[in-house]
Structure formats: structure tokens, C-alpha cells
């Protein structure tokens, strides 16, 4: 798959998970943890997460999700301190985080 195809797939997934809201941000490249490079350090079970976004109603809202067992593990990359969620039994769908 080409970079353009990847970008198109990401855009479609954004629309699905944000209730067809196009958003107000340009495409950006962000630094993130890469589990294939260096070691990850486990911080502990991730039992809940809160994130802030704007979805189809155009109101910025904090969405909270409690994870089910088996909990994912919150880790950080030793080389750069970036966070990573590993494991667990959850999916991300049009309804949000499930599991």
C-alpha cells in the first residue's frame, strides 16, 4: 500500500470514529513509541482512559472509557519516554473504544 493509500485509509477511519466530522487539524506527523526499536518499560495496567476530541456534534467533549479484563498495559519506550498501550482485549469502532 502506498503512503497516499495509507493516508486515505486513515482519513476514512477518522471520519467513522468522529461521526463524519472532518476535524480542524491538518495532517501531521507525530513522534510515537516504536515497539520494534529498543525496550519498553511497563508502568502498569491501564484501567481507564480519557481523551478530548470534537466529533459530529461539533462540541469538544472529554470521552472516558473503562477497560475490561484483561487490561491493556501502559508502557513507555526507554529510548525516548513515549507512551504505548500494549495488550488488552479492546477494539476501536465507530462507537468508540470497546472492551
- By DSSP bridging, strand 60-66 and strand 48-54 are antiparallel
87 vs 30, more confident: 87
Q: What is the pTM of this model?
A: 0.74
- The residue range of the domain holding 89 is 3-98
Give the integer Cα–Cα distance in Å for 8 and 6: 5
Of the listed ranges 12-16, 52-56, 60-64, 75-79, the one predicted with least confidence: 12-16
Q: What are phi and psi of 21, to 5 degrees?
A: -80, 125
| Spatial distance between the Cα atoms of 42 and 39, rounded to a whole number of angstroms | 10
Residue of higher predicted confidence among 10 and 68: 68
Mean pLDDT across the chain, nearest whole number? 86
Domain count, the chain: 1
Three-class SS state of 26: coil
Amino acid at each position: 500500500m502506498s503512503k497516499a493509500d495509507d493516508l486515505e485509509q486513515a482519513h476514512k477511519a477518522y471520519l467513522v470514529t468522529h461521526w463524519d466530522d472532518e476535524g480542524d487539524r491538518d495532517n501531521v506527523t507525530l513522534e510515537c513509541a516504536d515497539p520494534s526499536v529498543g525496550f519498553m518499560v511497563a508502568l502498569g495496567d491501564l484501567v481507564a482512559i480519557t481523551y478530548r476530541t470534537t466529533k459530529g456534534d461539533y462540541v469538544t467533549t472529554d470521552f472516558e472509557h473503562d477497560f475490561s479484563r484483561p487490561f491493556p498495559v501502559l508502557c513507555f519506550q526507554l529510548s525516548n519516554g513515549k507512551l504505548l498501550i500494549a495488550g488488552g482485549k479492546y477494539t476501536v469502532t465507530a462507537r468508540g473504544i470497546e472492551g
